[in-house]
Chains A and B, each alone.
Chain A
Amino acid sequence: MTALLHVDNISKRFGGFIALDGVELEVQPGERLGLIGPNGSGKSTLVNCICGTLQNETGNVRFDGHVMDGLAAHQRTHRGVARSFQLPRPFHSMTLADNLRIPLLYTVHARTGPLRSAGDLNSRCDELLDMVGLLKKAKQMPRDLTQVEMRKLELARAMAAEPKLLIADESMAGLSHSEIDDILALLVRLNERGITIILIEHIMRAVMSFSQRLAVLVSGKKIADGKPEDMVRDPEVVRAYLGQ
């Protein structure tokens, strides 16, 4: 099977600081990959390089058989990569429904041509809000939401772009036990629909129950990649991230 995402030897520097140093990563279609590593290990930089927010200096990123280097973030979204942000970044001046309307208008339209009528758009927004349990608040503003609802909105907005690959960047940080289960269940449901998911997370309980495979980044290098249960026993991973 050919990989959906193929990250080939990419590096990124910020001045003298090497954020990513020859990272290789393959993600198969339909896979649930967990990406872990200590703070500052380059997880978010890797996501930014995959999504086009940053451009990698060496190596390349291939997605769905196409090289994506040099493409802007919105072009990569059009190709089928969606992400949620570590700190939720909703559009503050719009209602929840309108927040979801943006990817529908700009990504789904761009991909399939302007086929959707206004009614279609509204029902699609409602469907997405219903999926994350926010339908009742469709007309409210993001400032009226709680932390967990904000994370759900963030995921719903990423899903609205109808992606092939969803990258969830720490979408559970700061949430309670039951809220984490909530988000996890949501992510599993999305995966069952055929969406490949990369989960970046510090909460090991969530990562372990979700991931089929784990990749570990430390100081901009991938030090291990394999089955979750093997990874947590890997001496190098234990030393660098989990602690003795």
Chain B
Amino acid sequence: MSTARFSLIAIAIGGLVMAFAHWFQVDYLFFASYTILQFIVLATAWNILGGYCGYVNFGSAAFFALGAYSSVALIKFDAEIDSWFSEGIAGFLHHIFPLPIPVLILFGALVSGIVGFGMGYLTLRLRGAFFAIATLAMAVVLQTLIVNWDFVGGSRGAYIIRPESLEFAGFQINYIEYLFALMLLLAVIALATARTIERSQLGFGFATIRDDELAAEACGVPTLRLKLIATTLSGAFMGMAGAPFPYYIGYLQPQSAFGLEYAVNSIAMPMIGGTTSWVGPLVGAILLGSAQQYATVTISSAVNLLIVGLMLVAFVIIAPNGLIGLVQEWMRARRRS
């Protein structure tokens, strides 16, 4: 199946979910699905580096937060235009600002992509646990920077007022539906990218890095360049997932943007789904994301991480290759018998 056809089918499925939610007029459905979609993007992004190349990134939350905070910075910049610039320039800037969310998403991708590239350049000579520790350290450093950056709210956090609705081509669109549609599009783009990579020369190259870097180099694979592509792509997608977040949550503070749940979920979801294929993060995110949403409503939101932890332990023991691995094994066994 071609990438275009795959994307169309994915958008069609998403459109159906959207129509369903719209028909019932349940805002909560949009809120919950947005979170799950966001985790699909995060898990897929993590998997490009962690699953395909075998480099475990513990700093996903930092990339996500960078996306979110780059949006906050641009929104705050808009608010300060009049006090910072002369009337002429301010007038011009008011034509551009406030920026629409798709532009914020691109900006978030750019910022996180650049940081991803930088992190890759500085740390990719490290392997295994050392790389993982370096990503964790980077997350701590970035959080400290944000906490001390007063312009974006520092440790107080920042309030972002979400408009009630958006006017688009004469239609009034509920804002949460708009955010949902954007995140849906992002999820489709992320999945289509991951799927394309997997079947391309790049995907083969990534797999050699995961298997044996020395042998990969001997076969002519430019491992450092490929790893930089992976860190940049992975970072950019995480930034994209984070960029609309301030509008979704309404109040952004460092503890929530850099929250443990993002780092843990973006690792746990691909692990539970299976890391070798694009389907893994998708399945993992839907499964774990839904379970968390269900627990949040019925028990308490504090149970979320407990669920992740328990499921991760269970899967590491029962199905180390995730659900996809389990299915593949089952199919192989059936073929043999």
Contacts and interface: CB of A to CB of B under 8 A. Distances in A.
Contact of A106 (B201, B211, B212, B214): B201
B157 to A, nearest CB: 44
Interface in A67-108: 72-75, 77-78, 82-83, 85, 89-94, 98, 101-103, 105-107
B220 A77 contact: yes
Contact of A74 (B204, B210, B211, B221): B221
A134 interface: no
A90 B201 CA distance: 18
Q: Which residue among A53, A90, A102, A157 has the maximum number of chain B CB atoms within 10 Å of its CB? A: A102
- Please indicate which of the listed interface residues B201, B205, B207, B208 has the most CB atoms of chain A within 10 Å of its own CB: B208
Q: Which 3 A-B pairs have the closest CB atoms?
A: A107-B220, A73-B217, A77-B220
B208 A91 contact: yes
A98 B204 contact: yes
Interface residues of B, number: 20
B216 interface: yes
Nearest to A102: B219
Contact of B207 (A51, A93, A161): A93
Contact of A85 (B210, B211, B218, B224): B218
B211 A94 contact: yes
A110 interface: yes
B173 interface: no
Contact of B219 (A52, A92, A93, A157): A157
23 contacts: A52-B217, A72-B217, A72-B224, A73-B214, A74-B217, A74-B221, A77-B220, A91-B215, A92-B211, A92-B212, A94-B204, A101-B204, A102-B204, A102-B216, A102-B219, A102-B220, A102-B221, A103-B219, A105-B204, A106-B219, A106-B221, A157-B219, A160-B219
A92 B212 CA distance: 8
B217 A102 contact: no
A77 B212 CA distance: 16
Interface in B270-299: 276
A73 B207 contact: no
Contacts of B309: none
Interface string B213-251: 011111111111000000000000000000000000000
Contacts, number: 81
Contacts of A52: 217
A85 B219 CA distance: 11
B24 to A, nearest CB: 44
A87 to B, nearest CB: 11
A109 B220 CA distance: 10
B333 to A, nearest CB: 15
A107 B218 CA distance: 10
A74 B215 contact: no
B9 to A, nearest CB: 24
Contacts of B218: 51, 53, 73-74, 77, 82-83, 85, 158
A110 B217 contact: no
Contacts of A83: 218
Nearest to B209: A91
Contacts of A51: 218
A106 B215 contact: no
A89 B216 CA distance: 9
Contacts of A85: 214-215, 218
Contacts of B214: 53, 73, 85, 89
A78 B221 CA distance: 9
A89 B212 contact: yes
Given A85-B218, A102-B208, 18 more contacts: A52-B217, A72-B224, A74-B218, A74-B219, A75-B222, A91-B215, A92-B212, A93-B207, A93-B211, A94-B211, A102-B204, A102-B220, A103-B219, A105-B201, A106-B205, A106-B220, A109-B201, A157-B215
B201 A93 contact: no
Interface string B190-216: 000000000001001101101110111
